[in-house]
Structure 1
């Protein structure tokens, strides 16, 4: 398995987790605002990781070409 495959696999896993956290934050918004804020914070941190992985993936593809 090469570096691009590893990055893409990790990116897909984090993206699924990000979607779960955003949905969780939305669902908690009406019942428990503290839990909603915590889920939203975790989602933002994951989004930051996803953006870094996108950069790495793009950089690896440019090197491969």
Structure 2
């Protein structure tokens, strides 16, 4: 049961991190396209990890 609690806590952290990366990417879109793309890539990687944890917590 402790493992499920850890998974859920990690999911919350990743979701917050994903949202901040997406917001940063959107804000940088007009000023620095390359940095915006890097932030979007990091957000996609975070989303992949979040999806794996969602699968484990079912």
After TM superposition, the score normalised by the length of structure 2 is: 0.97
Q: Which runs of 5+ in 1 are unaligned?
A: 59-65
Moved over 4 A (4+): none
Instruction: State how many pairs are aligned.
Output: 58
Q: Spell out, residue by residue over 1:12-50, the C-alpha distance to the aligned partner (whole angstroms, 9 max, x if none).
A: 001000000000000000000001000000000000000
What's the C-alpha RMSD, in Å, of the aligned pairs?
0.9
Q: Which residue is equivalent to 2:53?
A: 53
Q: Which residue is equivalent to 1:34?
A: 34
Q: Which has the larger radius of gyration?
A: 1
